[in-house]
Amino acid sequence: MTTSAGRDHRPLKLVAGTDVEVVRWTSPAGNGECTVVWLPTDRLDTQVASTEVTTGERQRAARYAHESDRLMSLGSAWLTRRLVANLLDVAPLQAPIVRDCDRCDKPHGRPVVGAATKDGTTIQVSATHSGRLVGVALSTSAAVGVDVEDLQGRGPHVWPTVWRVLGHHPVPEDPEAGPEAARTAATAWVRTEAVLKATGQGLAVSSRTVDISTEEEPRVIRWPWGDPTGRVSLFDLNPGRRYVAALAVIHEGRNDFTGSHHM
């Protein structure tokens, strides 16, 4: 399996102020491509965004106590709508995006696009945000999951806890070991979260059931759905110096992950 990733500034009729990463792959399921769009919240035009999201999306953003969280919520909803609308050639408010939670009746969770492109292709979307950055992954090739973490938004005491949540024993680094130790832990975290998002299971599955490589080449070592070889690809992204991010691509349908996930 060969993979490639990198910056690609060909706009996809995108949004002013965004940065674009295009990830391409070759898998047993064929060639594919995913566009990841990054939007710093200080570039978000809140007046425009507020007119192009639904009432529910505005209300959800307004419920956050901190301005930074309100901007991330609004920015994520708006960027997702704008990108899907571009693919479907409709206005952002007409983009048929649904966020349903499997554990409650609130309108949150992964975005699902309820319409196909003109050639009948399904649109797969994943959204993430951290610190002052919003990211949206968009693909018509495969199910995708994206996750980002702001390294400057966490103190050094957080990273040993991250290792424990991931089920990594013993904790591999001294909590005072410095920025490289923090980056290693954060990278393991976003790789794991990206995989769980791509399966469509998200928080319904414990991160301890997924083993991800922590070295330079990202890969899934073990997960609850049998042998991951050839079924999932994992990429590190480059959203900026203060962030780490990862993209996971599932080379089969999400329905294959809805059964038992206990090991």
The residues of the chain scoring below 70 in pLDDT are 1-14, 100-109, 169-177, 203, 253-255, 258-263
Q: What does the radius of gyration of the chain's CA atoms come to, in whole angstroms?
A: 18
For every residue of 8-41, DSSP letters joined together read: ----SS--TT-EEEEEEEEETTEEEEEEEEEEEG
The 10 Å CB-count burial string (b at 16+, else e) for 176-194 is eeeeebbebbbbbbbbbbb
In the chain, % of residues over pLDDT 90: 56
Q: What is the pLDDT of residues 94-140, one digit of tens each?
A: 999 998 655 555 555 689 999 998 999 999 999 999 999 999 999 99
Per-residue model confidence (pLDDT) at position 7: 53
Per-residue model confidence (pLDDT) at position 245: 97
Quote the pTM value: 0.88
